[in-house]
Structure 1
Amino acid sequence: MQTSLTPLFLALAATLSPLAHAADTSPANGFVEGSSLKLNARNYYMNRDRRDIHTDDSKEWGQGVLGTFESGYTQGPVGFGLDAHAMIGLKLDGGGGTDGSSILPYGGGNGKAPGAFSTAGGTLKMRAFDTELKAGDLFLNNPVIAGGMTRMLPQTFRGVSLTNHSIDGWLFEGGQASFTKLYNQSGHRRIGTSYGALPLNTDSRHLNWAGVSFSAIPSVTSNLYASELKDVWQQYYYDLDYTYVVNEMISLNPGLHYYHTQDTGQSLLGAIDNNTYSLHFTVAAGHHSVTAAYQRVNGNTPFDYIAQGDSVFIDNSQQYSDFNGPNERSWKLKYAYNFGGLGLPGLTSAVSYISGQTDLTSVDPRSRGYSAWYSADGKDARHWERDIDLKYVVQSGKAKDLAVRLQWATHRGSNGYSAVDRDVDEYRMILDYPFEVF
């Protein structure tokens, strides 16, 4: 009989092995003494002008507030603690049928988003040696399950996680999530995917994941992760990043990202056999940097990931498009400048141009989950995106850490590509004000 080792089991094994030899060298601060309360107020405006369907622009403007409380741990070899959070989103504009850019909840029958939405959650945690166990509502950020942070409020997951730091420069982690709170919703739902159309009432029951992060060698980082979205897919990820410092002014940074995704169990999205990778090379000189990237999707389905999540650790995932179509090839050129070189510390900018090409006729029009990607006239489908990003962070004074960010994206597609990624001009203005209460 063949034994199946789930990613969660492998994570537990990898974590408990070094734990057995670890010593508790980090003193507990105490449940109250180690506590903190942080608030972040985020004002978010998005205008998505759909140029190809001649309809009202999708305009939304909201004010979000997120409060996070983290306790310390009780004294002793095994410490216990409690984390909690609450968030609220207020609609400032987005009615009259103009909502739909995903800042606010989707409008009802009258086409208007509600005036407010909110949620709260808590997490029980336990620490022994260098291992931490959490159960409850989690903020997650790794290559196979990462909560979306690109809108007014963050995405959270409900489940259990385990992390271990017993070895310097190594992080072992694993867990299971059964529900998610999307970034523009109040309630929880089963975990779905960003691009696949799961059959009604059949969202996956849970996602298991396990991984290890390595940073023990200066200038080198690497990650290896595995996950299983029950009855949908198994997904594996690897990356390697290296920075070579030529001198005080110049550095070179090559790197790669790789995902393999294959269907599993009941295969609710149908057959999946997808290999996606990207390569980048950055040259930094003083306050300037130039990045060239190449990305390739091998498979007759798009590269897919958790719904509304940020677990898309590939180089050509942009403000609007992920350039992740079936069998897609894409190229990117990016220039970034830090205005600290002109005596304006905290002001940064970036300009990117990305071009992609794919064959949408390779998708099976009868595909159980990805038939929307099929296009009869998409034999040589092409699209491009141009992004401009400008950000300023206050460096000192009472408004320290206040951040203002402006983003512009222009996307155009042809030869059937507009069926999946539309012709869009998108503008975002984001104001973040984080501060510590204690």
Structure 2
Amino acid sequence: MYKSSLAVAVALGVLAQQAGAAGFVEDSKLSLSSRTMYYDNNNREDHAKPDAERPDQRESGQGFKLDYISGFTQGTVGFGVDAQALWGIHLDGGRGYHKSGFMPDDSNGSSVNQWARFGANAKARFSKTEVHYGSALAPNLPILVANDGRVLPQTFEGGTIQSKEIDNLTINAGQLTHAMGRASSNRTGLSVNGATADSNKFIYGGLDYKLTPDLTLQYYYSNLKDFYKQHFLGATHVFKIADDQSFKTDLRYFDSSSDGKNGGPGAYNFNNNGGYEKNDGKVDNKTWSAMFTYTLGGHSLMLGHQQVSDDGGFVWLNQGSVRDGNNRPEGAGGSSFYLFTDSMINQFAKAGENTTFGQYAYDFSRLGVPGLKASVSYLKGEDGKNAVGGGHFSEWERDARVDYVIQDGTFKGLGASLRHGVYRGTGSSSLADQDQTRLIFNYTYNFL
């Protein structure tokens, strides 16, 4: 049993004695979420190959997530517990199409029929400060964004603390030791893109300060031992033009450098997202981005630009290429990061890349159809430096999305999302051309 699970079990024993305490039970929440997902990634190259070598990826799966979130016991220090049970089921993935990391691999290279995992957190609250410790953490911070882009979500193991003791100031800190991937029932160490070694120490700290009701400033620091150190600065401002009209400015800057064993010989090297690197395997990057959004009624128009420095690609926490004892991928790959270019297919985060992007979105509630939203976005990356052979590459992506959530009646809360992305690139460091479609159905039933 993992140390965190043992700690949570002890906490449960203590809390059981106080289960009748006001707040712990009364404020509890129990919900069951269901997600059905169809994933089709059509690689536009090498279609002449036989089925066994065909590059396309096509699978569907069903996920269930049971969440229990307790309240806090009474007293100066309140205690509680959160628990999460996850179950994934392989519905279909025609022969030769299971290459997506969508589900765990079986011993014969096909997908397993089902997989499951359990996680829990003990928690405590003092005044306006909360501490969480366990294996069901899902941070959403500039230096770490838990990914929920497949059948089951990515979760982390470790401890976090959040304090709001000072008005308008939120302080976040923590240390994480392991991750549970979207398509895995196992935990793995923490790593970076392309690395085969892992680390069990990711520390972070930062603050969000609301300088005025319309302006928020951010600073965060993170360190993945033996891989990288990263500083983040951010500023968000919303200018209210009228009751139904606003202009939002969002600025972000990352400065990432090498730590410990990174940049030397061995498995702690970063492959720079498959792009150019000045120093082999060494983290060395500065990335800035700016986004401006104009909103008028149900209309929203966003434009922005991002610049990745020349010496190496942007770096973020991942599970790298970590494999199990049978040398099979753990299914732990796939993670998110806090840049506007983290799109449906590509990241636009290689060395030297200049990316201009835009999005138009509309909320159809303004036309009497609440719950219906649609958006279309376009990203164009240029001046990226090829990993080998010199020269530059360019790439673009176009994504469209329609979401609908039933607002009332028997099926209230049932949501559907249809997403389609098209990617094209030129140059040795671009991806293979792809057309990708995802169809997702979500439903959550609240017992408490």
Classify the TM-score, shorter chain: 0.7 to 0.9
Q: 2:205 — aligned with what? A: 210
Q: Using a 3 Å threshold, how does the CA distance of structure 1 residues 151 and 215 change in structure 2: closer, same or farther?
A: farther
Give the C-alpha shift of residue 309 in structure 1.
5.9
Matched, 1:343 2:356: no
Q: 2:226 — aligned with what? A: 231
**Is the contact between residue 191 and residue 227 of structure 2 (CA under 8 Å) also seen in structure 1?**
no
Give the C-alpha shift of residue 402 in structure 1.
1.7
SS in 2 for 1:417: coil
Equivalent of residue 402 in structure 1, options 414, 432, 438: 414
Q: 1:132 and 1:32 mapped to 2: Cα distance?
A: 18
**Is the contact between residue 57 and residue 100 of structure 2 (CA under 8 Å) also seen in structure 1?**
yes
Equivalent of residue 440 in structure 2, options 427, 430, 437: 430
Q: 1:43 and 1:146 mapped to 2: Cα distance?
A: 22
SS in 2 for 1:241: strand
Q: 2:67 — aligned with what? A: 68
Q: 2:117 — aligned with what? A: 119
SS in 1 for 2:212: coil
Q: Deviations over 1:276-330 (max 9, x none)?
A: 1111111112211211110000142211211256551112221111110111001
Segment of structure 1 superposing worse, 424-433 or 337-346: 337-346
| Long gaps (5+) in structure 1 | 1-27, 362-373
Scaled by the length of structure 1, the TM-score of the pair is 0.86
AA at the equivalent of 1:375:
V
Q: 2:409 and 2:209 mapped to 1: Cα distance?
A: 37
Matched, 1:360 2:385: yes
Q: 1:327 — aligned with what? A: 352
Give the C-alpha shift of residue 33 in structure 1.
1.9
Q: 2:101 and 2:336 mapped to 1: Cα distance?
A: 18
Equivalent of residue 134 in structure 1, options 132, 139, 148: 132
**Is the contact between residue 100 and residue 106 of structure 1 (CA under 8 Å) also seen in structure 2?**
no
Q: 1:416 — aligned with what? A: 428
SS in 2 for 1:68: strand
**Is the contact between residue 273 and residue 299 of structure 1 (CA under 8 Å) also seen in structure 2?**
no
**Is the contact between residue 42 and residue 435 of structure 2 (CA under 8 Å) also seen in structure 1?**
yes
Q: Deviations over 1:234-262 (max 9, x none)?
A: 01112111111111332111211111110
Give the C-alpha shift of residue 219 in structure 1.
2.5
Q: 1:249 and 1:78 mapped to 2: Cα distance?
A: 43
Give the C-alpha shift of residue 96 in structure 1.
1.4
Q: 2:335 and 2:218 mapped to 1: Cα distance?
A: 16
Segment of structure 1 superposing worse, 351-360 or 87-96: 351-360
Q: Deviations over 1:152-211 (max 9, x none)?
A: 111111111111111233211111111100011001010122x3x22x4x2122200111
Q: Deviations over 1:103-150 (max 9, x none)?
A: 2113543x3100000000111111222211111111221111221111
SS in 2 for 1:341: helix
Q: Using a 3 Å threshold, how does the CA distance of structure 1 residues 259 and 156 change in structure 2: closer, same or farther?
A: same
Equivalent of residue 299 in structure 2, options 278, 282, 288: 288
**Is the contact between residue 22 and residue 74 of structure 2 (CA under 8 Å) also seen in structure 1?**
yes
Q: Deviations over 1:347-396 (max 9, x none)?
A: 111111111013434xxxxxxxxxxxx131x5120111010011111222
Matched, 1:51 2:61: no
Q: 1:366 — aligned with what? A: none
Q: Using a 3 Å threshold, how does the CA distance of structure 1 residues 404 and 216 change in structure 2: closer, same or farther?
A: farther
**Alignment of structure 1 residues 306-325 onto 2, 5 Å:** 306-307=317-318, 308=333, 310-325=335-350
Q: 1:298 — aligned with what? A: 309
Matched, 1:41 2:34: yes
Scaled by the length of structure 2, the TM-score of the pair is 0.84
Equivalent of residue 23 in structure 2, options 18, 30, 36: 30
Give the C-alpha shift of residue 64 in structure 1.
0.2
**Is the contact between residue 99 and residue 107 of structure 1 (CA under 8 Å) also seen in structure 2?**
no
AA at the equivalent of 1:298:
S
**Is the contact between residue 243 and residue 253 of structure 1 (CA under 8 Å) also seen in structure 2?**
yes
SS in 2 for 1:409: strand
Matched, 1:96 2:95: yes
SS in 2 for 1:340: helix
Q: 2:349 and 2:29 mapped to 1: Cα distance?
A: 40
Q: 1:108 and 1:223 mapped to 2: Cα distance?
A: 46
Q: 1:151 — aligned with what? A: 150
Q: 1:23 — aligned with what? A: none
Q: 1:221 — aligned with what? A: 216
SS in 2 for 1:355: strand
Give the C-alpha shift of residue 274 in structure 1.
0.5
**Is the contact between residue 384 and residue 411 of structure 1 (CA under 8 Å) also seen in structure 2?**
yes
| Long gaps (5+) in structure 2 | 1-20, 48-53, 263-267, 270-280, 319-332
**Is the contact between residue 46 and residue 55 of structure 2 (CA under 8 Å) also seen in structure 1?**
no
**Is the contact between residue 52 and residue 422 of structure 1 (CA under 8 Å) also seen in structure 2?**
yes
Q: Using a 3 Å threshold, how does the CA distance of structure 1 residues 35 and 216 change in structure 2: closer, same or farther?
A: farther
**Is the contact between residue 45 and residue 430 of structure 1 (CA under 8 Å) also seen in structure 2?**
yes
